[in-house]
Amino acid sequence: MNAKIRVMIVDDSALVRRALTDCLSRCPDIEVVGTAGDPYAARDKILQLDPDVLTLDIEMPRMDGLTFLKLLMRHRPMPIVILSSLSGPGSAKALEALQTGAVEVLEKPSGTFSSIEDHARLIQVIKAAAGARVRSTAVSPRGAPALSASAAPRPILGAGSRRYSAQKLILIGASTGGTEALRAILAQLSPDLPGLCVVQHIPAHFSLAFAQRLNELCQLEVREAVDGDWVQPGLVLVAPGGTHLVVEWCGNRYQARLNQGPKVHYQRPAVDVLFGSVLKTGAPSQVLAILLTGMGSDGAASMLELRQAGARTIAQDEASCVVFGMPREAIRLGAAEVVLPLDQIAGRIERFADASALHPIGVAAGTLS
């Protein structure tokens, strides 16, 4: 019989600590081994109780959660799930937490975690975090380019030098660990790529700050998608948190549409919804679809359909994933044409762009390898 996942809760609210304890204790695979009202109390309990996963609030007295997270990731790396308010300034702090090494960020419900949806999602995240690859912030993950927020993107090789059929499209899906994986990939890309659409499992109120942060780091224009946006070269559209993103073929180009359809794999936005929408456009053979690190299986089934329809497909390899869930399922199904470490995916995207250009540069049209 497998040992239970040992969880410790750090939050200054006694009500939240109780709600989290009640929620997690309903799962037979999880044991709440302790709680703490601030990082100073948590420090000693971590040494004493040796939890597998820590849940951590950001706004706390005496020492804020971000400062504590940075100390932990430097001296005692462990899987940490941030549970906090993500509206307003909280969004920027949540992004910093992910960059510092938090496995996942969840928005704290306004009430308790009593709803079936909140309960299921929290349990899923805790289980994924327990198996996540966590490294000291002093060490870059294998396959992950070391990039700081101020790191300069790669030199521009000639903005606007490549032209494409309007049907060319790049799709990327990601979940746990994906915000940093996307940052690592997009910051390396040239500005003259085919249009890109991204689904990152992300809470509402968080995706706008995430897209703005990527836009500051990238040569490509990155923005949160708005219903009716046209997909165009040099533009990355990020699905808003809490909203599905699909693409439709309208006349002679793709248009982004947003909807509040049912959650898929407990997710909205969902990768399967975006990937599946491309199958309806009649041009899946013109598409490159990529699945990055993340829990669960979202995107794998629709990626298989895309590959069977002629799309090029890439899955991130196990060694460079924070959580090898979505890519593993894609590989198991045979949906991944190529399996690559994180640090090779940007280069393969550039090869796809070269091969897709109306006047390819040094690469035979249609090749990906």
- Residues 233-267: tens digit of each pLDDT: 999 999 999 999 999 999 999 999 999 999 999 89
Q: Based on the domain organization, do 226 and 298 belong to the same domain? A: yes
How many other CB atoms are found less than 10 A from the CB of residue 323?
Answer: 26
**115 DSSP 8-state letter:** S
User: Is residue 257 one of the residues assigned to a domain?
Assistant: yes
CATH number, domain with residue 203: 3.40.50.180
Q: Based on the domain organization, do 213 and 351 belong to the same domain? A: yes
Q: Based on the domain organization, do 239 and 105 belong to the same domain? A: no
User: Is residue 310 one of the residues assigned to a domain?
Assistant: yes
User: Is residue 64 one of the residues assigned to a domain?
Assistant: yes
User: Is residue 77 one of the residues assigned to a domain?
Assistant: yes
User: Per-residue confidence at 88, pLDDT binned at 50, 70, 90?
Assistant: low
205 is catalytic: no
User: Is residue 285 one of the residues assigned to a domain?
Assistant: yes
- Report CA torsion sign: 356, 357, 359, 364: negative
Quote the domain boundaries for residue 206: 169-356
Confidence at residue 146, expressed as pLDDT on a 0 to 100 scale: 42
Cis peptide before 203 (omega within 30 of 0): no
Nearest to 292 by CA among 337, 252, 345, 256: 345
Q: Based on the domain organization, do 254 and 177 belong to the same domain? A: yes
- Compute the average pLDDT of residues 149-166: 57
CA-based angle 307:309:314, to the nearest 5? 20
- Location of structure tokens 């040099």: 234
244 is catalytic: no
Which domain-ending residue is among 68, 102, 130?
A: 130
User: Per-residue confidence at 135, pLDDT binned at 50, 70, 90?
Assistant: confident
Q: Based on the domain organization, do 294 and 348 belong to the same domain? A: yes
Give the tokens for residue 25.
């204790």
Q: Based on the domain organization, do 80 and 200 belong to the same domain? A: no
Q: Based on the domain organization, do 24 and 121 belong to the same domain? A: yes
Q: pTM for the complete prediction? A: 0.88
Q: Based on the domain organization, do 92 and 179 belong to the same domain? A: no
Yes or no: say if 263 and 270 are a contact pair by the CB < 8 Å rule: yes
Yes or no: say if 83 and 40 are a contact pair by the CB < 8 Å rule: no
What is d(CA 215, CA 265) in angstroms, rounded to the nearest whole number?
28
- Those residues with Cβ within 8 angstroms of residue 121's Cβ, 6 or more apart along the chain or in another chain: 106, 266
- Those residues with Cβ within 8 angstroms of residue 93's Cβ, 6 or more apart along the chain or in another chain: 58, 66, 84
- Location of structure tokens 């971000």: 66
According to DSSP, the residues that pair with 257 across neighbouring strands are: 246
Q: Based on the domain organization, do 126 and 174 belong to the same domain? A: no
User: Is residue 363 one of the residues assigned to a domain?
Assistant: no
Name the pairing type of β-strands 235-238 and 80-84.
unpaired
Catalytic residue (choose from 175, 190, 277, 356): 175
Yes or no: say if 132 and 53 are a contact pair by the CB < 8 Å rule: no
Q: Based on the domain organization, do 100 and 50 belong to the same domain? A: yes
Catalytic residue (choose from 11, 298, 317, 343): 298
User: Per-residue confidence at 120, pLDDT binned at 50, 70, 90?
Assistant: confident
Neighbour-count burial of 47, counting CB atoms closer than 10 A to its CB (0-12 exposed, 13-18 middle, 19+ buried): exposed
201 is catalytic: yes
Q: Based on the domain organization, do 126 and 173 belong to the same domain? A: no
User: Is residue 331 one of the residues assigned to a domain?
Assistant: yes
Alpha helices in the chain (DSSP H): 14-25, 39-49, 65-75, 89-100, 116-130, 178-186, 207-217, 271-279, 300-308, 326-333, 342-356
User: Is residue 164 one of the residues assigned to a domain?
Assistant: no
Which domain-ending residue is among 75, 100, 130?
A: 130
Which domain-ending residue is among 130, 155, 180?
A: 130
Catalytic residue (choose from 201, 205, 244, 265): 201
Task: State how many domains the chain has.
Answer: 2
Nearest to 368 by CA among 298, 309, 285, 292: 285
Q: Based on the domain organization, do 126 and 175 belong to the same domain? A: no
What is the average pLDDT score of the chain?
88
